[in-house]
Structure 1
Amino acid sequence: MKKNAMMMFALIAALVLAGCKEEKPQEPVQTVEWFKAHQAEREARLAKCNANPGELAATPNCVNASRAESSSVWSKRGGIKAPAALTFEKNDGK
């Protein structure tokens, strides 16, 4: 009986301690548009994301900063240009 009580106490203590994990404070998530408008913050975020891609690459701020960077690069290059409209000339066989 005493052995069972000690095992039960150990189990409860383990469960209580498992719930004491220190959580990091969450930072606000910025939008792609915000990162487009704030180049210095975008570059700082991308540097931080690239320094630890295993943990940070899929976080919302890293994804949004990356999308803002891609959008900025494409807009500087003229964006994706629409192809010219196709024309059809009727061939009467002449």
Structure 2
Amino acid sequence: MMLALVAVLVGCKEGNAQEVVQTVEWFKEHPAERKAQLAKCNSNPGELAAKPNCVNASRADSSSVWSKRGGIKAPAPLTFEKNDKK
């Protein structure tokens, strides 16, 4: 009975192996790994979409796409011209 309990506990520990969480900056610097992570995330979005590596890879991908397009340009400041004509 004890042997079965030990086997179950060891099996649970192996099944919960923690994945190393990479930052957005890391995914920006490693496009091949970012592409692989996004493919993994897209293969099972119901379970993986909210996982830290999926979120960080997605943010890095979005950031790299926007930077290639020149980024988001700030609008020109609004000016007010007083019109004294009546």
Structure-2-length-normalised TM-score: 0.80
* Gapped regions of structure 1 (runs ≥ 5): 1-15
Q: Look up the match of 2:82.
A: 90
Give the count of matched residue pairs: 78
* Gapped regions of structure 2 (runs ≥ 5): none
Identity across matched positions, percent: 76
The one-letter amino acid paired with 1:42 is R
| Alignment RMSD | 1.8
Query: Separation in 1 of the partners of 2:80 and 2:45?
Result: 50
State whether structure 2 residue 45 is matched by structure 1 residue 67.
no
Secondary structure at the residue paired with 1:89? coil
Equivalent positions of 1:3-82 (< 5 A) are: 20=9, 22=12, 23-82=15-74
Structure-1-length-normalised TM-score: 0.74
The one-letter amino acid paired with 1:50 is N
